[in-house]
């Protein structure tokens, strides 16, 4: 066999890679988007569950005569919890399920980037969950008479987007980590779901938690994002904020960058491990 040229290119040109990247992102987001229409039962589940939990907290706050902005906190928290559930069940566990269905080897053997696959999953899941979250916010606001401060609407939207980048970056990182856990992915999702519900303050301000608990909980991007959005969207919100909004935004930005880099590293490591050991892509192992 004649030797291959040692300085031969190892990757396709940038333009071709960019075209492939965005095509892959769109294509992999498609099943999530089409699922909105074809799997209405999921939509009901993802709207009804957070909404009912939010309702129960609203009634508790009403019963104890809590300030009206707490009702708004709960409605917003209910909407944001839909993103947490989506990230955990349809993002973090996804590569494990892709392996089980036999898609994973096809993803790896195709010339696309695995980051594009994960980004497609994230954007598809994000778009679908936005619809669900919007329904919760609108229904909750109308039903319980929640009012918002419109002055900070744009900054709040920016915080939301930043939160989503960090949250789905965490989901992309988890996807690789959960795949390494193998059959434990399902249990890991279960394990993370409830504690994060508690410490992320979906239904109460995290300022109520001990400082060290709130600090640890801030590693979950939705905790900081929700706290900042509450401060921006509700009159008097800043009085019960955990940290000043500017610091929370800075921390979210750091988390976003760190998590995206970490997810890229984890994916590269995973692919290397898959190729070296040959077990990651096999269903039976």
Partner 1 sequence: MNESRAIETEKLGRIYKIRGAKKGEARELVALQDVDLEVRRGELFGLLGPNGAGKTTLIKILTTLLLPSSGRALVDGLDVVTQHRLVRERINMVSGGESSGYGLLTVRENLWMFAQFYGIDHATTYRRIDEMLEVVGLSDRKHTKISDLSTGLRQKTNIVRGFITDPQILFLDEPTLGLDVAAARDARQFVRRWMGRQDKTILLTTHYMVEADELCDRVAIIDRGRVLACDTPASLKRRLQRDAIFHIETSYLSTGGADGFEAIPGVSKVTHRDRDDRTAFEFLLQGEDVLAPVVARMTEKNAKILSLQKREPTLEDVFIDLVGRGLTDGENGSGSGNH
Closer of 33 and 66 to partner 1 (Cβ): 33
CB of 239 to partner 1, least distance (A): 47
Distance in Å, CB of 89 to partner 1, minimum: 16
- State in angstroms the smallest separation of the CB of 182 from partner 1: 12
* Phi, psi (deg, nearest 5) at residue 235: -60, 130
Residue placing its CB nearer to partner 1 in the complex, 13 or 210: 13
CA distances to 60, 66, 170, 285 from 63, rounded to whole Å, are 5, 8, 37, 53
235 in the Ramachandran plot: left (φ > 0), alpha (ψ -120 to 50) or beta? Answer: beta
Which pair of structure tokens corresponds to residue 276?
A: 């070296």
Comparing CA positions, the residue from 218, 223, 221 lying closest to residue 201 is: 223
CB-nearer residue toward partner 1: 2 or 194:
2
Shortest Cβ distance from residue 156 to partner 1 (Å)? 34
Minimum distance from residue 117 beta carbon to partner 1 (Å): 8
Per DSSP, the three-state class of 202 is coil
Two tokens, residue 63 = 């019963």
Residue 178 structure tokens = 């959960």
| Closest separation in Å from C-beta 274 to partner 1 | 7
Which CB atom, from 97 or from 186, has the smaller least distance to partner 1?
A: 97
Long-range CB contact pairs, 54-63, < 8 A, 24+ = 54/78, 54/81, 54/136, 54/140, 54/203, 55/140, 57/203, 57/204, 58/140, 58/144
**What does the binding site for partner 1 look like in residue numbers (CB under 8 A)?**
1-2, 4, 8-12, 16, 19-20, 23-24, 26-28, 30-31, 34-35, 38-39, 101-103, 105-112, 117, 274-278, 281
Complex with partner 1: residue 111 or 195, whichever CB lies closer: 111
Nearest to 27 by CA among 107, 133, 99: 107
Q: Both tokens of residue 224?
A: 């900081």
* CB-nearer residue toward partner 1: 25 or 79: 25
In angstroms, give the least distance from the CB of 91 to partner 1: 16
Contact present, 199 and 217 (Cβ < 8 Å): yes
Q: Which is nearer to partner 1, 25 or 82 (CB)?
A: 25
């Amino acid at each position: 066999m004649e030797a291959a040229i040692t300085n031969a290119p190892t990757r396709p040109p940038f333009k071709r890679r960019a075209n492939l990247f965005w095509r892959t992102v769109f294509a992999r987001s498609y099943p999530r988007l089409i699922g909105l229409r074809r799997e209405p039962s999921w939509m009901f589940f993802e709207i009804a569950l957070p909404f009912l939990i939010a309702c129960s907290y609203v009634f508790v706050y009403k019963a104890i005569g809590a300030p009206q902005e707490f009702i708004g906190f709960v409605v917003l928290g209910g909407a944001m919890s839909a993103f947490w559930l989506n990230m955990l069940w349809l993002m973090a566990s996804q590569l494990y399920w892709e392996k089980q269905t036999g898609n994973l080897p096809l993803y790896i053997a195709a010339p696309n980037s695995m980051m594009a696959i994960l980004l497609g999953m994230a954007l598809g899941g994000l778009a679908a969950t936005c619809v669900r979250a919007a329904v919760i916010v609108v229904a909750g606001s109308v039903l319980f008479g929640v009012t918002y401060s419109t002055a900070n609407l744009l900054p709040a939207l920016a915080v939301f987007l930043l939160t989503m980048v960090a949250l789905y970056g965490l989901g992309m990182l988890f996807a690789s980590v959960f795949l390494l856990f193998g059959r434990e992915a399902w249990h890991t999702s279960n394990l993370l779901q409830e504690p994060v519900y508690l410490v992320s303050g979906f239904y109460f301000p995290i300022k109520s938690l001990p400082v060290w608990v709130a600090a640890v909980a801030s590693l979950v991007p939705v905790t900081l994002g929700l706290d900042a959005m509450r401060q921006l969207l509700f009159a008097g919100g800043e009085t019960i904020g955990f940290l000043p909004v500017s610091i929370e935004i800075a921390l979210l930005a750091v988390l976003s960058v760190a998590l995206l880099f970490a997810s890229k590293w984890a994916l590269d490591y995973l692919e290397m491990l898959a190729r070296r050991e040959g077990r990651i892509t096999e269903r039976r192992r």
